Amino acid sequence: MKIVIATKNNGKLSEIEKILGSAGAELLTLNEFPDINLPEETGQTFLENAVAKAVYAARKTGMSALADDSGLEVEYLRGRPGVRSARYAGVGATDEENYRKLLKEMAGAPHDQRRGRFVCVIALAEPTGEVHAFEGSLEGFITEAPRGADGFGYDPVFFIPEKNRTCAEINPDEKNSISHRGRALRKLKTWMEERLP
């Protein structure tokens, strides 16, 4: 089974390969289909965006396609940045610009109101039009300043109480074992292993 991962983001690709690599499917990416550009994310939920991207990539390639949408929901900001996580500080914003905006908006927020969670929804669309979705989440707190050099996105400002570190302070394998994307991917992997010969 060939699956096209509907992303050109190498950080995501690395996480996906580490978990799905042993599931018996050949993984390709949109880097191998340079003429395909994903549609703009216009959904109101992570599920809507993931499904739209997966269905589009499956139609364009004629293969099963996997897409995810993920982001950070912060209690103090009533769920923001949410589906706008990747472009919170504007279209084309860097990871640092996004998390600096987040920290600025949360300046002065007490610890008990700094709860947040990473959410990831993965959609697998088949050429037949059938779609399967899997969700994972990771609970934590938003720090007052960035910490750590690993990871990407909001990892430097997302503190995991059980680890007593931010996502950017733990190594990639440890992160994959607990991350929102890792949890969603393991659900997908279990489903694939039950389905593939």
Q: For residues 162 and 139, what is the distance between their CA atoms, to the nearest angstrom?
A: 10
Residues designated as active site: 69
Q: pLDDT tens digits, residue range 60-79? A: 999 999 999 999 999 999 99
Spatial distance between the Cα atoms of 54 and 66, rounded to a whole number of angstroms: 5
Q: What is the pLDDT of residues 119-153, one digit of tens each?
A: 999 999 998 989 999 999 999 999 999 999 988 89
What's the half-sphere exposure (Cβ side, CA atoms, 13 Å) at 38? 26
What's the confidence (pLDDT) of residue 137?
A: 97
Overall domain count for the chain: 1
114: left (phi over 0), alpha (psi -120 to 50) or beta: alpha
Using alpha carbons, select from 118, 28, 15, 110 the residue that is nearest to residue 66: 28
Domain that holds residue 153: 2-195
Query: What gap in Å lies between CA 169 and CA 163, rounded to an integer?
Result: 9
CA angle, 59 then 60 then 63, to 5°: 65
Write the CATH number for 35. Answer: 3.90.950.10
pLDDT beneath 50: ranges in the chain? none
